[in-house]
């Protein structure tokens, strides 16, 4: 039996589909579905799993060892808002909750994959290398990144990473993210802004070494993320912290151009000043170092932003249904 925390969320529900495609249905989903206004429950529609456990009840079940036959826990559940200001909430939800799951996994020899974040790298001055030896030098720029970094350090100190895998997700986009609001991907926001206004606003650069729109990110399609995660489950000897990106940095202008192209439109891009509150925390460049994952044996190619955005826009976002059901479209267009 496999447990997915955050299983109704963006990456969690995509991973549920990945497992279903491989014939795995003995899966328990742990999540908080919230109100009907977010409609996050729709991410589970059409997918196969054996049970659903509310997030708040899960820790007690672990304490009592009430769940038998668990082979793996895929821990995607977290507050992923980089703008969250309630530090105590993030420490409880992202750090304390994760410690309980990790301790159970270690005590019962259960394979653990958990979501870390590229936000742990901070401004990138220390690079984007996922080797364990570099953890202590990282300085996240926000409390969300710090909560993830704190757990990475705890997992290392307590030898959790001897058998578990921490996944540092970079800029993920793709179907089933509609419920994320302000935390949804730039692709999702760009699509809706283009439809509404016919044009797209991007932030101006406030650094002389970057032109407007040439700020760079490592954008990764969610289906590439789940491919990595499935490979990790199939290779239980692989452990440690790994970047989940493509190893290629692309500009926001590239992303915008690909979105217009997927819609069959000519680019119409305007550049607006970045808010003062963001300027001292803004990353102008992120790019995952994928050397470690490749050395571990992962050989799959990654989807280009042109191909990923085309599939996302044409097979999901352009559908008349306002909710993105990841099982409706072909897995690869």
So which residues are the catalytic ones? 144, 180
In sequence order, the 6+-apart residues with CB closer than 8 A to the CB of 47 are: 13, 16, 17, 20, 327
Phi-psi region of 69 (alpha: psi -120 to 50; beta: other; left: phi over 0): left
243 forms bridges with which residues in the sheet?
A: 168
> Torsion over CA of 313, 318, 319 and 320, rounded to 10 degrees?
160
CA 220 vs. chain centroid, Å, equals 9
Length reported for the chain: 333
Please tell me the distance from the alpha carbon of residue 277 to that of residue 268, in angstroms, as a whole number.
26
Q: Using CB atoms within 10 Å of the CB of residue 231, give its burial: 0 to 12 exposed, 13 to 18 middle, 19+ buried.
A: middle
DSSP string, 48-68: --SEEEEGGGHHHHHHTT---
Q: CB neighbours (10 Å) of residue 312? A: 30
Contact at 8 Å (CB) between 106 and 239?
A: no
> Torsion over CA of 245, 251, 254 and 260, rounded to 10 degrees?
90
Query: Which ranges of 108-217 does DSSP label H, i.e. alpha helix?
Result: 143-157, 186-197
Alpha-carbon distance values, 284 to 118, 155, 287 (Å) = 14, 29, 10
């Amino acid at each position: 039996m496999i447990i997915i925390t955050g299983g109704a969320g963006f990456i969690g529900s995509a991973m549920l589909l990945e497992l279903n495609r491989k014939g795995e249905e003995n899966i328990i989903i742990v999540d908080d579905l919230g109100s009907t206004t977010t409609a996050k429950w729709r991410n589970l529609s059409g997918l196969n799993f054996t049970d659903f456990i509310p997030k708040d009840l899960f820790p007690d079940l672990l304490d009592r060892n009430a769940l038998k036959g668990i082979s793996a826990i895929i821990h995607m559940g977290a507050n992923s808002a980089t703008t969250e200001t309630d530090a105590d909430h993030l420490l409880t939800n992202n750090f304390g909750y994760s410690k309980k799951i990790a301790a159970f996994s270690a005590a019962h020899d259960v394979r653990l994959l958990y979501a870390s974040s590229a936000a742990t790298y901070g401004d990138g001055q220390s690079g984007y290398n996922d080797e364990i030896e570099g953890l202590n030098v990282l300085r996240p720029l926000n409390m969300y990144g710090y909560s993830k970094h704190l757990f990475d350090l705890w997992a290392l100190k307590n030898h959790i990473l001897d058998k578990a895998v921490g996944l540092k997700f970079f800029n993920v986009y793709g179907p089933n993210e509609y419920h994320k609001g302000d935390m949804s991907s730039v692709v999702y926001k760009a699509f809706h802004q283009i439809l509404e206004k016919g044009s797209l606003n991007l932030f101006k650069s406030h650094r002389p070494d970057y032109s407007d729109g040439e700020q760079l990110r490592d954008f990764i399609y969610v289906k590439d993320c789940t491919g990595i995660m499935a490979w990790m489950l199939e290779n239980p000897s692989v452990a440690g912290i790994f970047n989940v990106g493509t190893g290629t940095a692309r500009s926001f202008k590239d992303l915008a151009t690909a979105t217009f192209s997927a819609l069959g439109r000519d680019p119409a891009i305007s550049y607006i000043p970045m808010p003062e509150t963001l300027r001292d925390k803004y990353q102008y460049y992120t790019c995952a170092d994928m050397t470690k994952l490749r050395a571990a044996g992962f050989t799959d190619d990654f989807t280009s932003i042109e191909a990923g955005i085309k599939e996302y826009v044409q097979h999901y976002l352009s559908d008349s249904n306002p909710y993105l059901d990841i099982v409706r479209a072909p897995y690869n267009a």
